[in-house]
Amino acid sequence: MTKIRYDIQALRGLAVALVVLDHIGIQYLKNGFLGVDIFFVISGFLITGIIAKKVEDGSFSFSEFYLRRVRRLLPSAFAVIALTSIGSVFFLNSIELQDLKSQVIGALTFSINFVLWGQTGYFDVSANFKPLLHLWSLAVEEQFYLILPFILIITPRRFWPVMIGVLIAFSLAICVYLLDVDRSAAFYLLPSRAWELLLGSVGALVVHSDKLKAISKAALIPSILALVAVQFVSTGFPHPGLDALIVCVATLIIILASSKKLNDSRLLKPLARLGDISYPLYLVHWPIIVFMNSSYIGPIPIAIKVGAVVLSVVLAIVIHRYLENPLRFAGKRPALTFSAYACAAVAVLAVHFAVVFVSKPDIDFADNRIPNTGLDRSCDNPKFNDSIKCKTSESPSTLVWGDSFAMHLVPGLAHAQKIDLRQATFSACPPFIGVSPHNTKNPNPKKIENCINFNDTVINFLKNHDEINTVIIGASFAQYANPGSKNAVRQKDGSTLLSDTSLESLKADMRNTVTAIKSHGKNVIVISSTPGITTQNLSCMERTLSKKIVFGENTDCGKARETYDKQTKNIRAFYDFVEKELNTKVVKLSDTLCNEKSCVSIIDNVPIYRDEGHLSKVGSIKIFEMTGPIIN
């Protein structure tokens, strides 16, 4: 073998290039994330070789081994974590900053893969806005290196290949199992990713086999072609699956071949140079891309993406030259060095908490995103029982009926319009008699039964309560005006039959509801759903009000009026039908939220939305302050 393995450095360069290009969204690169799998094999090969050699000659020292890992990894990692925390003040909103805390702690303790695996739920932040998400792979590697020395020490030398082979089979079995039951666990956790590192370990143990080297050289060209091809053409299996296996085996063959032609090739030199800075480049590129995604509103131009890559490379060179290399061999005394880095970790964590404290916005967006259930959380209930918590007096004369798009109207109706009301609301259950939405991806017969029974209860309640003279209806009407969804419709025998959603079916359902309400002598008012915004509009709204950096095509944070008009042809026809044919008043929220140019998400520094469609509590109040009296 040559003294410097330019082929391995080139593989590192290729790996980091694939990851970076994948993260900035190169259109035809389907599997650029497989660069991480290349890293795993390389790491397993190199570190296992170091450990095995020292265990064999009796010079292995745990303190020396971990000291080398600390000096190699932590200076650059700590610097990037600290810089990310500082940068987050300018780019991340309050929700993302709150989420970053667990990422920082996980990164500093090499447990961020567990943190990310466990982060699920309504308030979870999208992966594109987690600036330390990429450190999961570093955590997996370091967890592997905590275990590997013990395996090699307690296993007799002649059984090392067998032991590693058994562990590979075991890890692959766990991976296949988890891909079926928990893909997030399969992606993030060591047991299901260890086989990739262990393939590198096997390579380190058999690297001197002339027979395997000959086989690898024969398979070198096909392996290079496979390594490249799988980046653009996927096998379709979930990750880490067959694509990852192809990449890992191809990487191992290239390493074992140790081709002199490859090592001497000038074509590999640029990739090898990139490989020299692969670690700091891997560290810095993702926070920069997250900050770019966070601050840019609208499609990100290629020039901005190229700028992010260039900035990442420049910072990686600076970190490599002035931090990584100088500190790589600094600190010969294990106890003192470990203590120094422990103090540095505490300092980095302190920096993050200081940043979060300093950047606390005037508006609590964590509170703003809490589901707007109206008068009380209990008012989102499949059983309508006229609870005291869900009405503004003992016997209100107005009933608000519908799904979550009726709930979000209540703060405005009660506080801005001063309407004495009671709530009859149940999420994902529009006020249609004998009809319930059907979730085709996750069918739930009980939910359908609950929805139909809920609306029956409300109609019977109206029939028996003469003090109610007005019913305000709200729902996600647009969801039911367009084709593509299903409703479960009650039949005469009590069974339900699935029916396609459409403008005509929505009109029929609303006619039945309005007719039933009016037959009991009640007045009906329909309040439209909101124009709705995109995730980017919502992000822009929060960043603007938090005084973060925002730039791009649509920094007013609204939806273009032209886009809204194109998207709402059917629902506008529905509202016309309700007004003209059902002779029922319709309050159109778009009249307040939309002007000639756009449908806004901010009014007088008030965040109107809590998500892409629902009003925040303060937004609901603001809108109905600007709307004329709903009930004359």
pLDDT tens digits along 275-300: 999 999 999 999 999 999 888 887 88
Residues in the chain: 632
Contact 107, 131 (CB under 8 A): no
Identity of the amino acid at 28: Y
The structure tokens listed for 389 are: 């918590």
**Tokens linked to 474:** 């709200």
Tokens representing residue 303 in the block: 């020039």
Give the tens place of pLDDT for each residue, 489-539: 999 898 999 999 999 999 999 999 999 999 999 999 999 999 988 888 888
H-helix or E-strand containing 147? Answer: helix 136-154
Q: What is the pLDDT of residue 235?
A: 87
Q: Mean pLDDT across the stretch 171-199?
A: 95
Task: Read off the DSSP letter of residue 127.
Answer: G
All domains of the chain in start order, with CATH: 6-360 (no CATH), 368-531+569-598+615-626 (3.40.50.1110)
Residue 250 has a pLDDT of 96
Q: Please list, in sequence order, all residues whose beta carbon lies within 8 angstroms of the beta carbon of residue 310, skipping any fewer than 6 positions away.
A: none
SS3 of 442, please? coil
Tokens 């002035």, residue located: 322
The string of pLDDT tens digits covering residues 27-54 is 888 889 999 999 999 999 999 999 999 9
Query: Residue 51: CB partners within 8 Å, gap ≥ 6?
Result: 60, 65, 148, 149, 152
Residues β-bridged to residue 124: none
Residue with tokens 């009003």: 615
Residue 28 vs residue 196, higher pLDDT? 196
Helices (H) and strands (E) in the chain, counts: 29, 14
**CA angle 399–400–405, rounded 5-degree value:** 175
Contacts of 597 (CB under 8 A, 6+ apart): 558, 560, 561
For residue 267, give both structure tokens.
């074509």
Are 558 and 601 a contacting pair, CB within 8 Å? Answer: yes
Beta-strand runs (E) in 136-204 = none
pLDDT at 511: 97
Q: For residue 123, what pLDDT is reported?
A: 40
The answer to whether the beta carbons of residues 100 and 85 sit under 8 Å apart is yes
The torsion defined by the Cα of 234, 240, 242 and 248, in degrees rounded to 10, comes to: 100
pTM (two decimals): 0.81
The residues, any chain, with a CB within 8 Å of residue 512's CB and separated by 6 or more, are 432, 433, 434
Please count the CA atoms within 13 angstroms of the CA of 357 that sit on its side-chain side: 6
Rounded CA gap, 258 and 207, in Å? 9
Dist CA 463 CA 401 (whole Å): 14
Q: Give the confidence band of 3 by pLDDT, cuts at 50, 70, 90.
A: low
The pLDDT of residue 122 is 37
Q: What is the mean pLDDT of the segment spanning 560-581?
A: 92
Average pLDDT, the chain: 91
pLDDT tens, residue by residue, 86-138: 999 888 887 788 888 899 999 999 999 999 898 754 345 678 889 999 999 99
Please calculate the CA angle 533-375-571 and round it to the nearest 5 degrees.
35
